Amino acid sequence: MGVISLRLKDRDLERLDELSKATHKDKSTMARELLEYGWDFLMFKYYKEGKLSLTALAKKLDVSISEALDLLKERGIEAPLGFDDYLKGFEVFNQVK
Amino acid sequence: MVFDSSTLILLAKIDLLRESAEDISIVIPPKVKEECLFKESLDALLIKTLIAEGKIKVEKAGNQEAVRKLRADFRIEEGEAQALWLGKRLGVPLAVDDGPTIKACKVLGVQFVTAIHFLINLRARGKLELPLALAKLDALAAYGRYSRKIIEDAAQRLRGGN
């Protein structure tokens, strides 16, 4: 495990202290957990914005694609499919048949 | 039809992959196979079984340089790029439920369908009874996270409304 020092705003230090007391965890553990939560949150945001593909999301979260789909389901993040594209899909199917 | 991991796994999760594989010829590139079988799970086991039975064919995506370019141009991963390249080379639609890959399909003029189309197609062909089809739609609404408008339209189509 590496070590870094960083400056935090007073407000963030207060929050860290509050969480640390509430969860009975030391501040370093709490800060590491918050970083992980923050990372996951940001990756889901990037996925939602179309900046990450599903496979890229799975890689960033260190899970399989199947698990990434489970996580998207839990969070109810809407699929990247417009209604017009959905309608076009039927034409494609009719051509295949 | 060439499949990306997203649609393959979605159909496996709602237990419609075998029915789809019996209805349509499914081809995947090697990286999609690797991604789908990466960790042990029920959907991975089903995909592995269908590959072993020859119901899902694995076909090489040959042109590495073209695949690299697709990855760079559309910010997609190797499996998604291989599937896209293979669909384009074979001149067949891509089954995909991934946003950036769908955008790439539109730019490159590759036709695409998503998991929900397979459900509606199976119902239209009389391969699923209505109650079962609606139950699958519920599962797909959760896992596929389609918009309410799409789910409502799909339900209407399953009931024979369109």
Domain that holds residue B137: 115-158
Contact B98 A50 (CB under 8 A): no
Same domain assignment for residues B109 and B126:
no
ipTM value: 0.92
In terms of Cα–Cα distance, which of B37, B78, B86, B44 is closest to B61? Answer: B86
Give the C-alpha distances (Å, rounded to integers) separating A63 from A52, A55, A71, B25, B96.
15, 10, 10, 29, 20
What is the residue-level pLDDT of chain A in tens, covering all 97 positions? 888 888 999 999 999 999 999 999 999 999 999 999 999 999 999 999 999 999 999 999 999 999 999 999 999 999 989 999 999 999 998 887 5
To the nearest whole Å, the CA of B111 is away from the closest chain A CA by: 7
CB contacts < 8 A (A, B): 119
Give residue-wise pLDDT tens across range B59-82: 998 789 999 999 999 999 999 999
Question: CA-nearest residue of chain B to A71?
Answer: B143
- Domain check: are B36 and B91 in the same one? yes
How far is the C-alpha of A50 from the C-alpha of A62, rounded, in Å? 19
Q: Are residues B54 and B128 in the same domain?
A: no
A45 touches chain B (CB under 8 A): no
Q: Are B141 and B32 in contact (CB under 8 A)?
A: no
Q: Which residues pair with B56 in a beta bridge?
A: B26
Task: Delimit the domains of chain A by residue range.
Answer: 10-96
Residue B22 shares a structural domain with residue B75: yes
Q: Which residue has the tokens 């109810």?
A: A76
CA–CA gap between residue B17 and residue A97 (Å, rounded): 18
CB contact A94 to B (< 8 Å): no
CA atoms within 13 A of residue B80's CA, in its CB half-sphere: 30
